[in-house]
Amino acid sequence: MARRVVVTGIGILSSIGRNLPETLESVLRSRSGIGKLRYLNSPHQNEFPFAEVPFPNTALTELAQLSDSEGYSRNALLGLIAATEALQHARLHELPPLRTGLLSATTVGGMDTCERYYNDFLTNDSKNIYIDVYDCADSTEKIADHLSIRDYITTLSTACSSAANAILLGARLIRSGRLDRAVAGGTEALTSFHINGFNSLKILDKVPCRPFDVNRNGITLGEGAAYLILETEEAAHAGDRPIFAELSGFGNACEAFHQTASAPDGKGAYLAMERALKLNGTKPSEIDYINAHGTGTDNNDLAEGAAIERLFGEKIPLVSSTKPFTGHMTSAAGSAEAVLSILCLIHRMVLPNLNLETPMPELKFKPVTELIRDVDVNLVMSNSFGFGGNDTSLIFKKYNR
């Protein structure tokens, strides 16, 4: 029997809040973080809405409690703030250290900084301190240094499922006995690089994203970071701390269909969800709520919806995509949505799929459109699907001894 992996802390920073309490307040008030781009310079800033973290880097430096942020990308600042919150939420600083790892995810690393200084990189020495920020590992190592994590560190990048795979790896390292604790999640800063790239694919919606709506027309890019503290059950019982959830299932599959599109039947999504259920023998009917990947693209929502219908049959759980709150945080989406899923377990609620007016006629189920409170939520499935068909599904369960 593999060791049980539980969640003892969560941290999140996104367009809907600097921290956990602000995030909770935003979702309770159905307040979206999507709006006009203010801090990033992009030729597309008036063309599309974005879910930008509403602070410049100077304010993020203060939030990260850094005296000097020279050498830091926005990506690293966001990650450091959320990871620190998770650590404090789990009150790890009060406890003796155990074997701890940092598994962090990102899709373009410190591109936010590199794209700004690229011309300097090519022509002069004035920004040399930022050259290595290009590497995806840069933010991970800065976070590890600040949190004094040395036992195991690595960085994952599987496009929009990156942070979900970081959580999956953390769970596996704990189950195998290699680690007692893991800080797992992802960080992503909005970049012109991403905006241009997604625009070249013609999948950015000109209005705030509308997952599962018949008129959906693409994604809204967001940014931020979120981390979970995963521990063995035994380690979690030290120090009289609350256990917020058990990570009871995870599944990784590759759709192997197309580099950017999903197969219409959602094969990859189906396999990832099915594997997550199988891991600990969870029945589909036990899932109370699915926090869907639900990007708002024509393709994803159709494929994911089809996969959900095929896997869950007649008894489809409550479903919503929370991307209309946070935007699509790409590499950090998996951990941000894991945090929102865990908030649903803690606060006995199901979050609404904002911006949904007319449900897709192709699907039999209708996503939740109003916040549901005081509801039994024992098992939540959180889906993250990425380019290249890198699909991962996580299941969080209310913890019972």
Partner 1 sequence: MIRVPAYINGIGLISPQQTADPSLFLPEVMEYTTDFLTSVDPNYKAFIDPLAARRMSRLIKMGITAAKIALQDATPKPHEGDFLPSLASGSEATREGLGVGLDAIITGTGLGSVEDTEKILGRMTAGEQLMNPTPFIQSTYNTISSQIAIILQCHNYNSTYVHRSFSFESALQDALLQFEEGAAATALIGGIDEMTENHLKITRRAGHWKMGPVNNLNLLSYQTPGALAGEGSAYFLMASQITSTTYASLLDVQTIYKPEESLPMDEVITRFLSDNGLSPDQVDAVILGYNGDIRYDFLYDRLGSGIFREAQQVWYKHLCGEYYTSTGFALWLGANILKHQVIPVAVRFNNLNADRLQHILVYNQDRNINHSLLLLSRK
- Catalytic positions, please? 160, 293, 328
Residue in this structure with the two tokens 């990308």, named with its chain if needed: 73
Sign of the C-alpha dihedral computed for residues 323, 329, 334 and 335 taken in this order: negative
Q: Which is nearer to partner 1, 112 or 288 (CB)?
A: 112
234 contributes a contact to partner 1 by CB under 8 A? no
Cα separation, 189 vs 204, in Å, equals 17
Q: Which of 9, 11, 49, 109 binds partner 1 (CB under 8 A)?
A: 109
User: Does residue 257 touch partner 1 according to CB under 8 A?
Assistant: yes
Q: How far is Cα 380 from Cα 350, in angstroms, rounded to an integer?
A: 10
Q: H or E stretch including 299? A: helix 298-312
Q: Does 255 contact partner 1 by CB under 8 A?
A: yes
Listed ranges 9-17, 79-87, 144-152, 336-344: which one lies at the site for partner 1 (CB under 8 A): 144-152
Regarding 386 and contact with partner 1 (CB under 8 A), the answer is yes
By CB under 8 A, residue 298 contacts partner 1: no
- Which residue among 22, 62, 141, 274 contacts partner 1 (CB under 8 A)? 141
> Residues in contact with partner 1, total (CB under 8 A)?
64
Is 156 near partner 1 (CB under 8 A)? yes
Residue 17 or 110 with smaller CB distance to partner 1: 110
Per CB under 8 A, 99 contacts partner 1: no
Q: Which stretch binds partner 1 (CB under 8 A): 52-60, 153-161, 207-215, 333-341?
A: 153-161
Complex with partner 1: residue 137 or 371, whichever CB lies closer: 137
Nearer to partner 1, 126 or 358 (CB): 126
Find the shortest distance in angstroms from Cβ 331 to partner 1.
Answer: 10
Assess contact for 251 and 276: CB atoms under 8 A. yes
- The beta strand positions in 189-257, using DSSP E, are 224-232, 245-254
Q: Are 365 and 305 in contact (CB under 8 A)?
A: yes
- Which among 321, 319, 304, 309 is positioned nearest to 386, based on CA atoms? 304
Among 36, 93, 150, 206, binds partner 1 (CB under 8 A): 150
Least Å distance, CB 177 to partner 1, is: 5
SS3 for 172? Answer: helix
Query: Candidates 17-25, 71-79, 263-271, 369-377 — which segment interacts with partner 1 by CB under 8 A?
Result: 263-271
Q: Based on the shown chain and the rule CB under 8 A, indicate whether residue 387 belongs to the binding site for partner 1.
A: yes
CB of 158 to partner 1, least distance (A): 5
Residues near 305 by beta carbon (within 8 Å), at least 6 away in sequence = 212, 266, 360, 362, 363, 365
- Taking the CA atoms of 193, 198, 199 and 201 in sequence, report the sign of the dihedral they define: positive
Applying CB under 8 A, does 43 fall inside the site for partner 1?
yes
| Type of residue at 337 | E
Residue 89 · residue 229 · CB < 8 Å: yes
CB 301 within 8 A of CB 362: no
Q: Does 264 bind partner 1 (CB under 8 A)?
A: no
Which parts of 171-210 interact with partner 1 (CB under 8 A)?
Answer: 172-173, 175-178, 192-193, 196-201
**Which letter does DSSP use for residue 219 in this model?**
B
- 103 DSSP 8-state letter: E
Residue among 45, 88, 217, 260 that touches partner 1 (CB under 8 A): 260
Tokens of 237: 């019982």
Q: CA-to-CA distance for 218 and 339, rounded, in angstroms? A: 24
If you compute the radius of gyration of the chain from its CA atoms, what whole number of angstroms results? 19
Q: Which residues bind partner 1 (CB under 8 A)?
A: 43, 106-107, 109, 114-115, 118-119, 121-122, 125, 128, 131-132, 134-137, 140-141, 144-145, 150, 152-159, 165, 169, 172-173, 175-178, 192-193, 196-201, 252-260, 267-268, 271, 386-390
